[in-house]
Chain A
Amino acid sequence: MSEHRKISASELKQYKKRSLLSEVWRNYKKNPSAMIALFIVIAIVVIAIVSQFAFDYKADIVQQNVREKFIHPCAEHPFGTDNYGRDVLVRVLYGARYSLSVGVVAVAISCILGVTLGLIAGYYGGFIEDFILRFCEIFTGIPSILMGVALISAFGQSIIVLMMAIGLVYTPMYCRTTRAAVMPVRDEEYIEAARIAGVSDLKIMFSHVMPNALSPIIVQVTMGVASAILTASSLSFLGLGVPIPLPEWGAMLSEGREFMRDHMYLTIFPGLAIMITVLSFNLMGDGLRDALDPKLKE
Chain B
Amino acid sequence: MAENLLEVRHLTKYFKTKRGMLHAVDDISFDLEKGKTLGLVGESGCGKSTTGRTILRLIEPTSGEILFEGRDVKKMSKRQLKEARKDMQLIFQDPYSSLDPRKTVNQIISEPIIANRILTNKDEIHERVAELMSIVGLAPRLFNTYPHELDGGRRQRIGIARALAMNPKFIVCDEPVSALDVSIQAQILNLLDELQEEMGLTYIFITHDLSVVNHFADEIAVMYLGKIVEKAPAEELFDHPLHPYTKALLSAIPIPDLSERKERIIIRGEITSPIEPPDECRFFKRCPHACEACRKTPQLEEAAPGHLVACARYKELEA
Contact = CB atoms under 8 A, between A and B. Distances in A.
State yes or no: do A and B touch (Cβ within 8 Å): yes
Given A203-B115, A212-B100, A193 B135 contact: no
Which of A1, A6, A10 has the most chain B CB atoms inside 10 A of its CB?
Answer: A1
A110 to B, nearest CB: 25
A12 B89 contact: no
A192 B140 CA distance: 26
A184 to B, nearest CB: 10
B143 A195 contact: no
A189 interface: yes
B98 interface: yes
Given A7-B130, A7-B134, A196-B56, A12 B111 contact: no
A189 B111 contact: no
A198 interface: yes
Interface string A21-47: 000000000000000000000000000
A279 B127 CA distance: 50
A298 B148 contact: yes
B111 A199 contact: yes
B301 to A, nearest CB: 36
B78 to A, nearest CB: 10
Contacts of A194: 100, 111, 115
B298 interface: no
Given A9-B123, A190-B97, A198 B115 contact: yes
B175 to A, nearest CB: 12
B7 interface: no
A11 B124 CA distance: 13
A208 to B, nearest CB: 5
Contacts of B137: 1
Interface size grouping (class) on chain A: 35 or more
Interface in B72-113: 82, 85-86, 89-90, 92-94, 97-104, 106, 111-112
Contacts of B140: 7, 11-12, 15
Contacts of B162: 193, 197
B144 interface: yes
B141 interface: yes
A212 B101 contact: yes
B19 to A, nearest CB: 20
A10 B104 CA distance: 18
A211 interface: yes
B194 interface: yes
B58 A192 contact: yes
B97 A189 contact: yes
23 contacts: A1-B135, A1-B198, A2-B198, A4-B135, A6-B131, A7-B130, A9-B124, A11-B130, A12-B127, A12-B130, A17-B104, A188-B97, A188-B98, A188-B100, A189-B92, A190-B98, A192-B90, A193-B162, A196-B85, A197-B111, A198-B115, A198-B116, A298-B148
Interface of A: 1-2, 4-12, 15-18, 20, 188-190, 192-200, 203, 208, 211-212, 295-296, 298
Interface of B: 56, 58, 82, 85-86, 89-90, 92-94, 97-104, 106, 111-112, 115-116, 122-124, 126-127, 130-131, 134-135, 137, 140-144, 146, 148, 159, 162, 165, 194, 198
